[in-house]
Amino acid sequence: MPFSRISLRHGKSADYLRALSDSLQRALVDTFDVPEDDRFQIIHQLAEHELIFDRHYRGGPRSDDYVLFDITTGKTRSNAQKQAFYLRLTALLAESPGIRPQDVMIVVSNSHGDDWSFANGEPAAPAA
């Protein structure tokens, strides 16, 4: 049950954003064993002064096409799963919508089932 926030510079087309979203979902399904219909994403398009990033820190060089994926998952994934996810997502994004791997930053955080309520104020999992 991942929840994803995607942040990038303002000005991309609806088709570009859909390709971004679809690539993320495909990578989650392929590597994190996420069901196809478990899709909760928010895309933030920000002005240049609202998305501040270093163009060379631990990678790069980053361009104006830099994208940050901030993903919260409901269960812990192994290091091998996360590495497979990082590689799969960057490969899919290179195919569509054409983002260079140097422009992709990914942050994966974990939470517990009782930290989530999908509807009706009911927790997704009982508190332990």
Q: Is residue 83 part of a domain?
A: yes
Instruction: Provide the b/e sequence for 55-83 (b: ≥16 CB within 10 Å).
Output: eeeeeeebeebbbbbbbbbbeebeeeebe
Q: Is the pLDDT of residue 63 over 60?
A: yes
pLDDT at 5: 99
pLDDT at 114: 82
Q: Is residue 94 part of a domain?
A: yes
Catalytic, 101? Answer no
Catalytic: which of 2, 61, 123, 126? Answer: 2
Q: Which domain holds residue 23?
A: 3-115
Count of domains observed in the chain = 1
Domain CATH for 76: 3.30.429.10
pLDDT at 98: 98
Q: Is residue 126 part of a domain?
A: no
Q: Is the pLDDT of residue 128 over 90?
A: no
31-45 per-position pLDDT tens digit: 999 999 999 999 999
Q: Which whole number is the average pLDDT over 5-15? A: 98
pLDDT at 42: 99
Which of 58 and 124 is assigned the larger pLDDT?
58
Q: Is residue 19 part of a domain?
A: yes
